[in-house]
Structure formats: C-alpha cells, structure tokens
C-alpha cells in the first residue's frame, strides 16, 4: 500500500519505518527541512534503539522515502497518517490542535482519488468530526474517509511496541476503510495483536483514557511511597504484592519521580479540559495532575533533608536527565524543574545522560555536563539517580567516588538498600 506519514517525529518516523519494513511504500513528510535533509543522509533525528538500522535498510530498498513536499506526497498516497504534535495550548490545559487542522486543510486541497485520512496524533474526542468538516468544504464525501487510529508505542521501546502492539484501535464506521486498514495491519494481527473496530469518537477517547489510567497508576504508587517512608515499609514490597494480582498488574506500579514525557502530562490535562467542555467532572484525573505537580517539590524537600538543608556549594550529580530510559526526550522531564531549583539554592550541578548534553541546561549557570559516569560521580557530595538507564545499574560507587562523605539518592530504587548499608554507603531511596 502507498502510505504517507505527515510529521516525522517519534510517532511518524517509527510507524513509517515499521510500515515500510512490512512491505508498504511509505513517504515520511516533515515541514522541518533540516530533519528531512538529514534523514536523506541517514542521520536520525531521535534516539530510539534499533531505529537507525531499520531506516537505513528500508531507505536503501526504496520502500521508505523522505520529503518536505506535502502536496506531492499526498497525491502519491492512498492512506495519509497525521502524526504532528498536539501540545498543550498556552494559557490553557486544552490540546493545541493547530498543527492537526493546518495539515488537514493542506491535505484537503490535494485529494485526486479516494484516500483514508488517519489521525495517529493523540487528539481529543470530536477532532475527527472537525477534520471531516474541513474536508467536506473542499472534497466530495465519496473521496475521503476520516479515521482515528491512535498510537500506543512507548519511546525507548517504540519499534517493538509497533510490531507487537497489545491492540490496534481503528475508529471508523466506514466498512471500506475498515477493510483496507485491517489488511494493512494484518501482519501484526497474525502475530497476535488484537484488532478493535469502534466508533471514531470512542477510538479518540480510548487513547486519552489509557494514558490517564497509566498516569493514575504511577501517581497512586508514588503517593503510597510517601506513606511507606513514614512507617518503615519498603514500597518495593507493596509493588510486588499488589502487582501479582492479575487484576492490578505490575507494570507502571513502580514509585519514582513525577511522571513526565511528551504524553502523560499533556494528555491528562487535555482529557480534563474535554470533560470540562462537556460539563462533566473527571475528579480522579484532576487529583492525579495535582499530585504529580507536587511530586517534584516533594522529592526536592527530600534532597534538602538528605543534605541537612545545607545546599550552598554542594556538588550534586544527576545520573540521567531524560524522563525515562532509552530515549533522548526531555519533554516534561521532572529534572527540568528540580535542577534549576537546586541551582537557585546554591548547588553546583553536573549531569551525565547516555544520550548526551542537553541544550536546555546550557544557559543555566552552575550546570555542567560530564562525559561519562566515572567523571560525573567522582567529586559528588550527592548522587541522584534520576533515570533508570542500564548504564547506572552496576556502578562501583566505593571505587568511583573520591569524596568520602558522599550520599546517594536513588529515585528509581535500582540498588538494594540492604547491600548499600552493608557497604556503609549513605543511601536513600524512594518509599523506604
Ligand atoms: P514530534 O514533535 O516528535 O513530531 C511531530 C513532527 O511533526 C515534527 O517533526 C514537526 O516538524 C512535524 N510537523 C508539524 N507540523 C507539520 C506540518 N504542517 N507538515 C509536516 N510536518 C509537520 O511529536 P511525537 O512525539 O511524534 O507526537 C506526535 C503525536 O503522537 C502527538 O499527538 C503525540 O501525543 C502522539 N503520540 C506520541 C507518542 C510518543 O511517545 N512520542 C506516543 C503515542 C502518541
């Protein structure tokens, strides 16, 4: 099939590459000319394990193309996936749909034969209805079908998640589109993915409801960890004990920093905004947002306690700054608020992240990048394990840290508190 992905970011690039690997002809389009120029040279704009090889393989065999010419790419394609960003609006908690609607307007001027227009971007319920209105102004109803097909991949595991998804959700009542899309996804269905055909509005809501539920699970266990810290109970025992109940499940049930990334913070806000629009009250999700917003200040307070409120000139080393492991994505990472707050209190920060130096910290005084774990930890007064990269799971702190009075705050509970105690390391973790 001939596919066009509009927006070559985490979702558009990964799904475009995977679709081409399944034998389809795919054009990945982006308005960012530099991104397209680099991709044509084999330079991948994001860090995603396994993506480089897959791009190279499919670019070489010419099933995968990159273009900045939207009109031409639409004309050549049968199925168009809208994969542009849907960030939070400025001064509001609603999703900013301007990128989606701009793209929809552009596509509607290039329809030469029947095409399926798919929102893969996360869009609030009724966005598909609005896109249909945009198309109806320009094109005969017989020439297009607007479908919702939300994406559930996780950064860091995106290729695996795309090829082995738990479910594929197709929101359309149009039988022809459903048949074509079931055929497109048949290689994944035959590997065990569940295929769900539902209404467009339901598909749009399934995505938000899923993200809001996962954010709730994380926030639930984060709050419980606060209680555990007061009663000499280890939150890890609670996670295991709860997670073994199949009705609950162990995933997204590990205490840690505030949830971040490009999805949960914006999607929880957007679903609340949608419910407000329809005059209902998603009070649980509202509490989750509030609790998560407080999380970073709570962990900062813990840092102050660990350092006996003596922050001035303390050398604090952050291991990992991305919002989770195996991605370079810094969007809404909790250290974006924690690091500047610590600097304000007089701390000297250095950080190491396997995905390299982050521009966002360049302008902040007293924040420096270290080239590796060894140089990052050597002079630290406090080491904060912020992101759960494998690189941080077997560090020999005794050998690596030259400062005798150093402390460790493990925000991911990677290490065993018992073993740390045996080594006489001043070790602090979450929820114990
Ligand atoms: P991204 O910011 O990485 O990529 C979006 C791309 O769209 C950018 O490269 C941008 O230049 C391009 N773009 C914007 N306007 C364009 C236009 N008019 N023409 C061509 N290209 C244009 O975003 P992302 O992380 O891939 O997310 C995209 C959507 O998918 C969002 O709605 C997001 O919520 C959703 N989503 C993201 C993830 C994730 O893990 N990142 C997972 C599931 C769903």
Q: Which domains does the chain have, with CATH numbers?
A: 2-198 (3.40.50.720), 208-286 (1.10.1040.10), 295-429 (3.40.50.720)
pLDDT at 195: 98
Distance 91 CA to ligand 1 centre (A): 21
- Please give the pLDDT value at position 264: 98
Alpha carbon of 6 to ligand 1 centroid (Å)? 9
- Inter-axis angle of helices 283-306 and 335-344, nearest 10: 40
Q: Which DSSP state fits 95?
A: B
- Please give the structure tokens belonging to residue 291: 């609790």
Q: Which two tokens stand for residue 150?
A: 């939300």
Strands laid side by side in the 64-67 sheet: 64-67, 25-29, 2-6, 79-82, 115-119, 144-148, 167-171, 194-198
Instruction: Map 187-206 to HEC letters.
Output: HHHCCCCEEEEECHHHHHHH
Ligand 1, residues at Cβ distance < 6 Å:
6-12, 29-32, 35, 70, 83-86, 99, 102-103, 121-122, 151, 153, 155, 262-263
Taking the CA of residue 239 as centre, how many other CA atoms within 13 Å lie in the half-sphere pointing to its CB? 22
What are the structure tokens assigned to 10, written together?
């985490």
Retrieve residue 29's tokens.
């389009």
Reading the chain (432 residues) residue by residue, the pLDDT tens digits are 999 999 999 999 999 999 999 999 999 999 999 999 999 999 999 999 999 999 999 999 999 999 999 999 999 999 999 999 999 999 999 999 999 999 999 999 999 999 999 999 999 999 999 999 999 999 999 999 999 999 999 999 999 999 999 999 999 999 999 999 999 999 999 999 999 999 999 999 999 999 999 999 999 999 999 999 999 999 999 999 999 999 999 999 999 999 999 999 999 999 999 999 999 999 999 999 999 999 999 999 999 999 999 999 999 999 999 999 999 999 999 999 999 999 999 999 999 999 999 999 999 999 999 999 999 999 999 999 999 999 999 999 999 999 989 999 999 999 999 999 999 999 999 999
Give me ligand 1 centre to Cα 7, in Å. 5
Angle between helices 200-231 and 235-243 (to 10 degrees): 140
CA of 155 to the centre of ligand 1 (A): 12
Is 127 within 8 Å of 100 (Cβ atoms)? yes
Nearest-atom index, ligand 1, CA of 35: 9
Using CA positions, which residue lies closest to atom 37 of ligand 1?
Answer: 11
Q: Whose CA is nearest to atom 7 of ligand 1?
A: 7
In this prediction, residue 85 carries a pLDDT of 98
By alpha-carbon position, which residue is closest to atom 44 of ligand 1? 151
Testing ligand 1's pocket by substitution, the residue of 5, 85, 328 carrying the most ligand atoms inside 8 A of its CB is 85
368 C-alpha to center of ligand 1: Å? 30
**d(C-alpha 82, C-alpha 149), whole Å:** 10
What's the confidence (pLDDT) of residue 367?
Answer: 98
Catalytic residue among 4, 18, 228, 263: 263
Q: Which atom of ligand 1 lies closest to the CA of 154?
A: 40
Among protein residues, the one whose CA lies closest to atom 11 of ligand 1? 32
CA distances 126 to 98, 204, 239, 260, 388, Å, are 15, 8, 37, 26, 37
The answer to whether 228 is a known catalytic residue is: no
3-state secondary structure of 317: strand
Whole-number Å distance, alpha carbon 45 to ligand 1 midpoint, is 13
What is the best residue among 74, 83, 154, 211 to mutate for testing ligand 1's pocket, by most ligand atoms within 8 Å of CB?
83
CA distances from 243 to 239, 253, 257, 388, 404 (A): 6, 7, 19, 20, 38
ipTM: 0.99
With contact defined as beta carbons under 8 Å apart, do 50 and 27 qualify?
no
For ligand 1, atom 28, which residue shows the shortest CA distance?
85
pLDDT of residue 249: 98
């Amino acid at each position: 099939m001939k596919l066009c992905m509009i927006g070559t970011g985490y979702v558009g690039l990964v799904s475009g590459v995977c679709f081409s690997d399944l034998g389809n002809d795919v054009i990945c389009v982006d308005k960012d000319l530099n991104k397209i120029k680099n991709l044509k040279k084999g330079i991948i704009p994001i860090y995603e394990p396994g993506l480089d090889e897959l791009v190279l393989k499919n670019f070489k065999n010419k099933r995968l193309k990159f273009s900045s010419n939207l009109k031409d790419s639409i004309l050549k394609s049968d199925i168009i996936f809208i994969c542009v960003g849907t960030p939070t609006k400025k001064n509001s908690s609603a999703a900013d749909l301007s990128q989606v609607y701009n793209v929809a307007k552009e596509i509607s001027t290039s329809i030469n034969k029947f095409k399926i227009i798919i929102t893969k971007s996360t869009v609030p319920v009724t966005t598909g209805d609005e896109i249909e209105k945009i198309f109806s102004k320009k094109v005969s109803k017989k020439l297009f079908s607007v479908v919702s097909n939300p994406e559930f991949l996780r950064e860091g595991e995106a290729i695996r998640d795309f090829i082995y998804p738990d479910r594929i959700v197709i929101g359309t009542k149009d039988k022809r589109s459903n048949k074509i899309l079931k055929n497109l996804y048949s290689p994944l269905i035959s590997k065990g993915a569940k295929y769900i055909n539902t209404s467009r509005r339901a598909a749009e809501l399934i995505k938000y409801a899923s993200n809001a539920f996962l954010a709730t699970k994380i926030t639930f266990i984060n709050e419980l960890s606060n209680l555990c810290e007061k009663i000499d109970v280890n939150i890890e025992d609670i996670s295991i004990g709860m997670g073994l109940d199949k009705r609950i499940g162990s995933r997204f049930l590990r205490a840690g920093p505030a949830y971040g990334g490009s999805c949960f913070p914006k999607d929880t806000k957007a679903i609340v905004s949608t419910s407000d629009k329809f005059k209902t009250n998603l009070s649980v999700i509202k509490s989750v947002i509030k609790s998560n917003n407080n999380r970073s200040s709570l962990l900062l307070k813990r840092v102050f306690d660990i350092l006996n409120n003596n922050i001035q000139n303390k050398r604090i080393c952050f291991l990992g700054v991305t919002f989770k492991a195996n991605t370079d994505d810094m969007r809404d990472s909790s250290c974006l608020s924690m690091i500047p707050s610590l600097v304000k209190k007089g701390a000297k920060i250095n950080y190491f992240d396997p995905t390299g130096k982050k521009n966002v910290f360049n302008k902040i005084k007293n924040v420096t990048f270290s080239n590796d774990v060894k140089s990052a930890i050597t002079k630290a007064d406090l080491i904060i394990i912020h992101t759960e990269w494998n690189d941080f799971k077997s560090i020999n702190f005794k050998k690596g840290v030259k400062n005798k009075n150093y402390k460790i705050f493990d925000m991911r509970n990677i290490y065993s508190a018992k073993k740390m105690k045996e080594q006489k390391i001043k070790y602090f973790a979450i929820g114990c």
